[in-house]
Amino acid sequence: MAVLPIRVSKAAYYQVMITPVTDSPYAVLTLIAAPAVFTNASSVLALGTGNRLARVVDRTRQLVKDLHGAEIDPATRTLWVSHLGRLEKRGSLLVRALSFFYGAIGCFAAASVVSILGASVVSTQYKWPFEVIVGISFVSGTVGFIGLAVGCSMLVHETRLALSSIYEEAELARSWFKKA
């Protein structure tokens, strides 16, 4: 006995395979959980960025103290003055990154709350409130994700500035050892 394959149109196949969000409690749970995970990521990045900002403030204060108090050779003074300008740029980048991370946290929190609201209306007979709520949640989550991405790119730029300062200081230190 041979089994013949059954031909199904693509539209019928996708209609059977795709379950609407309103029919699956797990889909609604996913709408709530995803912003919560991104909220956590944004919070961790904000905490780390705050620590980086504190280090920039400490380094700036130390450089100002060293420049003001001691007799320094001209090459070192020039280098440290240029580092002060770089520290200002780094501080500015970190504050802007923090702003983006805090904005992302707010957007993700809003997306979570709106998703919970959507979960409460998903089983009603009215579908348009659910669709509006899903749209608001999606827009809020997208804005949060963009804020997270922009903040991360600012951290990369700040890290590159920090590394260029480290390379210059290492070069200066090597020049001191060559003189000795």
More confident call, 137 vs 24: 137
Q: For the chain, give the percent of residues with pLDDT over 70.
A: 82
Residue 107 is predicted with a pLDDT of 94
Percent of the chain at pLDDT > 90 equals 46
Q: Quote the crossing angle between the two packed helices 128-179 and 74-121, to the nearest 10°.
A: 160
**116 against 97, higher pLDDT:** 97
Is the pTM above the cut of 0.85?
A: no
**Nearest Cα residue to 148 out of 51, 53, 43:** 43
Mean per-residue pLDDT of the chain? 84
Task: Give the Cβ contact number of residue 74 at 10 Å.
Answer: 7
pLDDT of residue 89: 97
For residue 71, name the pLDDT band (cuts at 50, 70, 90). Answer: confident
Average confidence (pLDDT) over 31-47: 87
Quickly list H helices, 21-126.
25-69, 74-121
